[in-house]
Amino acid sequence: MDRFLVLPPHEGNQYIIMLDDVIRYCLDDIFGVFNYSDYEAYTFKFSRDAELDIEEDVSKSFLEILSDSLKKRKTSPPVRFVYDRNMPDMLRDKILSKISGGKTYHLVEGDRYHNSKDFMNFPDLLGPEHAYKKIAPLWHKDIIERESIFNTIQKKDLLLHFPYQSFNHMLDMLREASIDPKVRSIRITLYRVANQSAVINALINASRNGKNVKVFLEVQARFDEKQNIYLAEKLQEAGVKIIKNIPGFKIHAKLLLIRRKEDNKNLYFGYIGTGNFNESTAKQYVDVGLLTSDRGMTHEIRKVFELFEATYRPMRFRHLIVSPFSTRNFFMKMLEYEINEAKAGRESWAIIKLNNLDDKRIVNKLYKASQAGVKIKMIIRSICTLVPGVKGVSENIEVFSILDKYLEHARITAFCHGEDTKVFIGSADWMGRNLNNRVEVTAPVRDETLKQELLDMLDIQLRDNTKARIVDGTFANRFKRNNLPKVRTQWDTYDYLKQKHYKNPS
């Protein structure tokens, strides 16, 4: 049932009641047979350990082992208990003893209601004028209808910005590849896909049309394991090869590689993104992806896929930055370059946009950069263990968080680097798990026009004085306010891209 029940209008007012309170109101009806005189109700929730206990069993396939582990998750030990702070201690302790057998774990005092994410489905009673206006995804001006996208990518690199631009560009590319007689093979990494995935359908069609299709489907994507096991079986039935996992590592990179045969030559077309190949989340998550036919880049995308298929071994990359091999050290070196520039009295700065930042070594390097005089501006949506603005430690660092209609999900970094500004996009946050225990790919954006496009968009975000919040050591999350013209990142970014690209012709 829905969490919210819309009641009939009364005297010109509209009322909504939560399902929680319907249950509270009806306790007498539920328990009346016991003839109690008083009724009280308190909400609580407990979370179980979601880590999967993967046991080695040579007699079973990996998917069978994972399926068994998913069943065990239902009886995993509780790790957190959130409860109404008005719940009597005796009742709380009684519940704890029943759930955990007296074992202790993280207790969190809460309020009367939990699961606030349900408010995303709050009834729309005020009419469309009070809801966000739907925007039409923009059509990339260089992608021409009824013309092969491969011809376009051969001419120059392209950047796609979701949800401002249409994810149909990616779907059309996969569909074209599935029926193009020149296409010989498709390689793709999948982490989370839509429930009714057009991406999966395109890959199945490609396989049925004789293309060599290989998919690395990260079946251990947390809480999507069951869905991904089903998809793996569905793809295998269609002749798609599912590449096995690398023990101890998750594949979080967002990669696509298509091989075409033209004039007896192999031509490669690659995609490196910050978000999943998921047409549903592409409407809600702000991500960016690079389409390229650059020989150096596509060659190294091939090397990453070879890494998946071969026995795990360290690899060297000249063009791509790949975890767990080099991501941390690469960005430490980029910061060290800026430190040396600052010490020499030259311009030095860095702009860093991530979802999460908690890697101690990088955080310490950022502190050193600040102390050397490097101007650092950061847009960190979620976890940030760095404390900006501390005199003598981080006074040259500013951190903002932008929360608005869409989820800011892209990872973009830019460095002054003398007179040769460097800009990168990729899948990796600066966290221990992303740098040590996942295969992540970050790519340089070399085309000067595309580089400036990303710098312009970062500038819009840094000037946001509507939805940007200031991150500091007080945890106040104050909105950034000033007397400058109003800037709202997601609105202004759409307008910026609209000026550069044509609308969807449909």
What string of DSSP letters covers 155-217? HS-EEEEETTB-THHHHHHHHHHHH-TTEEEEEEEESS--TT-HHHHHHHHHHHTT-EEEEEE
- Using alpha carbons only, what angle is made at residue 232 by residues 227 and 235, rounded to the nearest 5 degrees? 120
- Residue 136 counted as domain residue: no
**Same domain, residue pair 339 and 393:** yes
Banded model confidence at residue 58, pLDDT cuts 50, 70, 90: very low
H helices of 26-167, where? 27-31, 62-73, 89-100, 149-155
Of 431, 54, 425, 433, the residue nearest 245 (C-alpha):
54
**Same domain, residue pair 22 and 54:** no
pLDDT of 253-262, one tens digit each? 999 999 999 9
Euclidean distance between CA atoms 112 and 109, whole angstroms: 10
- Residue 144 counted as domain residue: no
**Same domain, residue pair 165 and 188:** yes
**Same domain, residue pair 332 and 433:** yes
**Same domain, residue pair 259 and 389:** no
**Same domain, residue pair 297 and 351:** no
Euclidean distance between CA atoms 254 and 443, whole angstroms: 11
- Residue 53 reports pLDDT greater than 60: no
- Mapping DSSP onto H, E and C, the string for 416-431 reads CCCCCCEEEEECCCEC
- Mean pLDDT along residues 219-242: 75
Residues 6+ apart with CB under 8 A from 97: none
Pick 467 or 314 by higher pLDDT. 467
pLDDT at position 341: 98
**Same domain, residue pair 373 and 464:** yes
Say how many Å lie between the first and final Cα of the chain, rounded. Answer: 37
Which of 109-123, 162-176, 455-469 shows the lowest per-residue confidence on average (mean pLDDT)? Answer: 109-123
- Residue 154 counted as domain residue: yes
**Same domain, residue pair 94 and 3:** no
- Residue 138 counted as domain residue: no
**Same domain, residue pair 121 and 221:** no
- Residue 502 reports pLDDT greater than 70: no
**Same domain, residue pair 349 and 409:** yes
pLDDT of 345-372, one tens digit each? 999 999 999 999 999 999 999 999 999 9
The total number of structural domains in the chain stands at: 4
- Residue 162 reports pLDDT greater than 70: yes
If you average pLDDT over every residue of the chain, what do you get?
89
Residues 169 and 144: beta-carbon distance below 8 Å? no
- Residue 315 counted as domain residue: no
What positions carry a catalytic annotation?
252
Residues 224 and 192: beta-carbon distance below 8 Å? yes
pLDDT of 127-158, one tens digit each? 788 888 888 999 999 999 889 999 999 999 99
The token duo for 375 is 């101007």
- Residue 220 counted as domain residue: yes
User: Structure pTM?
Assistant: 0.83
| Four-residue CA torsion sign, 19, 24, 28, 34 | positive
CATH number at residue 458: 3.30.870.10
Which of 149-153, 199-203, 398-402, 472-476 shows the lowest per-residue confidence on average (mean pLDDT)? Answer: 472-476
The token duo for 245 is 């996992």
* Domain-terminating residue out of 97, 131, 165: 131
**Same domain, residue pair 192 and 297:** yes
Euclidean distance between CA atoms 282 and 43, whole angstroms: 34
pLDDT at position 79: 80
Q: Which residues pair with 267 in a beta bridge?
A: 260
pLDDT of 82-102, one tens digit each? 999 999 999 999 988 887 765
- Residue 142 counted as domain residue: no
Euclidean distance between CA atoms 495 and 287, whole angstroms: 16
**Same domain, residue pair 281 and 416:** no
pLDDT at position 307: 87
pLDDT of 284-337, one tens digit each? 999 999 999 999 999 999 999 998 887 656 788 999 999 999 999 999 999 999
- Residue 177 counted as domain residue: yes
* Domain-terminating residue out of 309, 343, 376: 309
* Domain-terminating residue out of 288, 309, 330: 309
Task: Note down the domain range covering 160.
Answer: 149-309
